[in-house]
Amino acid sequence: MDGAHEKTLAELAAKGRLRALTHTSGRDFTSNDYLALADSPALRDAVAAALARGVPVGAGGSRLLRGNHPEHEMLEEEAASFFGSETSLYFPTGFAANAAIAATLPRREDLIIHDALIHASFRDGLDPGRINAVEVPHNDVGAIADAITAWRFAGGRGKIWIAVETLYSMDGDRAPLADLKALAARRDAMLILDEAHATGVYGPQGRGLAAEFEGAPNIISLHTCGKALGVMGALVTLPRVLRDFMVNRARGFIYSTAPSPLMAAATRAALAIAAGAEQERAQLQALVRQTAALMKTRLGLAASGSQIQPIIVGTDARAVALAAAMQARGYDIRAIRPPTVPEGTARLRIALSLHADSAVLEALFADLAAEMEKA
């Protein structure tokens, strides 16, 4: 080794951006387990029942070889019915699914337009040698329209693909979905909607913020299973022809060992649980409203309006110091720093879930206000 790796790690440490794995401790305000399903008795029972009926733990190979299992197929059928799409395709992770969508579906002659805050997984699928991609300012529908016009004027003749998150993972704000849907219809564009942080939490039966759009021929949605659903993997809901194309061309699907059949069985159960979790969603929204009030009274800040609440503090050092102080007080809150978020916007990311209650929220914001006065 020539020391390049050590040098890079030292530079990260000097900037306050060196990452390390830590054990979980304290009240959970970090995970995406919004409905508190990950360790729930209901999912434990579903896994035990699947094991009892002989569902294997491992797949043993890719789905195009020997790894395809009836549990995968039943999950995909049930997911398509639940979300209202023509078909669905199950991936081992949301990252793999997002990267596969970006890398596989747009053709060389097409154009991808994506929001500036789109997830890293989508960006990783964009091969600059093959794919023409344009980044536009966050939630700026006018900029998307302008990018389409400019590309067409310059001679672009392929398909337009617009990629956004319905609920952004680090800012907690929503995409202007109605405007995006209307623009896609006017310009004959495909709309890729990452519902990762909305699935299970919003929409009828927890079907997401874009539930009313599902099933349209120009809609592709990504529903991750490792957040509010409490399990693992991701479901891409899409037209059948595009599903078949991904089965034949998506390298992240073709050359990857299939997801665990046991996890597919658990995901089937999680969808059924989410469908009936209206009371739990109402409880979570009550916490969101309480957080908005506490943000205003305790910190003098406006809230995001969702279960993801960023507290932007600016510098990496201040974010790290505040996170450490809150951890010492018994809250699992982490600092989020560039490059995950833009330069100068280091923050605490507070994720609300049913692991907390009203009293804990009151204490959290009282303690956070005290620590922010010191920092």
pLDDT in tens, 317-349: 999 999 999 999 999 999 999 999 999 999 999
- Rounded Cα distance between 191 and 199, Å, is 17
Q: What would the mean pLDDT of 36-44 be, rounded to a whole number?
A: 97
Catalytic residue among 98, 169, 218, 304: 169
Is 364 a residue whose pLDDT tops 70? yes
Q: What would the mean pLDDT of 244-256 be, rounded to a whole number?
A: 97
Tally Cβ neighbours within 10 Å of residue 248: 11
- Rounded Cα distance between 126 and 143, Å, is 20
Q: What would the mean pLDDT of 12-34 be, rounded to a whole number?
A: 90
Q: What angle, 0 to 180 degrees and rounded to 10, lies between the N-to-C axes of helices 41-52 and 261-275?
A: 140
Is 23 a residue whose pLDDT tops 90? no
Q: What would the mean pLDDT of 107-118 be, rounded to a whole number?
A: 96
Please tell me the predicted confidence (pLDDT) of residue 334.
Answer: 94
254 neighbors 5 (Cβ within 8 angstroms): no
Helix (H, G, I), strand (E, B) or coil at 238: strand
Instruction: Kindly state the percentage of the chain with pLDDT values over 70.
Output: 99
169 included as an active-site residue: yes
Please name the fold of domain 23-40+278-374.
Aspartate Aminotransferase, domain 1 (3.90.1150)
226 neighbors 33 (Cβ within 8 angstroms): no
119 included as an active-site residue: yes
- Rounded Cα distance between 143 and 136, Å, is 6
pLDDT range class, residue 26, cuts 50, 70, 90: very high
Bridging pattern class, strands 189-194 and 160-165: parallel
Please tell me the predicted confidence (pLDDT) of residue 19.
Answer: 87
Model confidence pLDDT, tens digit, residues 57-94:
999 999 999 999 999 999 999 999 999 999 999 999 99
Please name the fold of domain 55-275.
Aspartate Aminotransferase; domain 2 (3.40.640)
Bond into 106 cis (ω within 30): no
Is 22 a residue whose pLDDT tops 80? yes
Place of tokens 């699914």: 97
165 included as an active-site residue: yes
Q: Where in the chain is the domain with CATH 3.90.1150.10?
A: 23-40+278-374
Rounded to two decimals, the pTM is 0.94
pLDDT range class, residue 374, cuts 50, 70, 90: confident
DSSP 8-state assignment for residue 257: P
Catalytic residue among 197, 280, 306, 332: 197
Closest CA relative to residue 192, chosen from 159, 169, 229:
159
355 included as an active-site residue: no
The CB-side HSE value for 290 (13 A sphere, CA atoms) comes to 18
27 neighbors 331 (Cβ within 8 angstroms): yes
Catalytic residue among 76, 165, 280, 332: 165
Please tell me the predicted confidence (pLDDT) of residue 130.
Answer: 85
Please tell me the predicted confidence (pLDDT) of residue 128.
Answer: 82
Please tell me the predicted confidence (pLDDT) of residue 366.
Answer: 97
17-26, 61-70, 82-91, 354-363: range with lowest mean pLDDT: 17-26
Q: How far is CA 132 from CA 101, 102, 109, 135, 375, in A?
A: 14, 11, 8, 10, 44
Place of tokens 């008795």: 41
Is 208 a residue whose pLDDT tops 70? yes
Q: What would the mean pLDDT of 117-135 be, rounded to a whole number?
A: 92
80 neighbors 87 (Cβ within 8 angstroms): yes
How big is the CA angle at 145 (ends 143 and 146), to the nearest 5 degrees? 65
pLDDT range class, residue 375, cuts 50, 70, 90: low
171 included as an active-site residue: no
Q: Where in the chain is the domain with CATH 3.40.640.10?
A: 55-275
Model confidence pLDDT, tens digit, residues 263-321:
999 999 999 999 999 999 999 999 999 999 999 999 999 999 999 999 999 899 999 99
Tally Cβ neighbours within 10 Å of residue 59: 24
Q: What would the mean pLDDT of 242-253 be, rounded to a whole number?
A: 97
Please tell me the predicted confidence (pLDDT) of residue 80.
Answer: 98
- Rounded Cα distance between 100 and 126, Å, is 9
159 included as an active-site residue: no
Please tell me the predicted confidence (pLDDT) of residue 269.
Answer: 98
Q: Which residues contact 238 (CB under 8 A, 6 or more apart)?
A: 85, 86, 87, 88, 89, 219, 220, 221, 246
pLDDT range class, residue 129, cuts 50, 70, 90: confident
Catalytic residue among 28, 33, 171, 194: 194
pLDDT range class, residue 20, cuts 50, 70, 90: confident
Catalytic residue among 69, 72, 114, 119: 119
Please tell me the predicted confidence (pLDDT) of residue 62.
Answer: 97
How big is the CA angle at 167 (ends 159 and 286), to the nearest 5 degrees? 155
Q: How far is C-alpha 201 from the geometric centre of its chain's CA atoms?
A: 12
Model confidence pLDDT, tens digit, residues 147-196:
999 999 999 999 999 999 999 999 999 999 999 999 999 999 999 999 99
Q: Where are the alpha helices (DSSP H) in the chain?
A: 4-14, 41-52, 70-83, 94-104, 120-124, 141-153, 177-186, 240-249, 251-254, 261-275, 278-294, 316-328, 358-374
Please tell me the predicted confidence (pLDDT) of residue 25.
Answer: 85
Bridging pattern class, strands 234-238 and 87-91: antiparallel
pLDDT range class, residue 1, cuts 50, 70, 90: low
Look over the chain and give the mean of its residue pLDDT values, rounded to a whole number. Answer: 96
Catalytic residue among 69, 227, 355, 371: 227
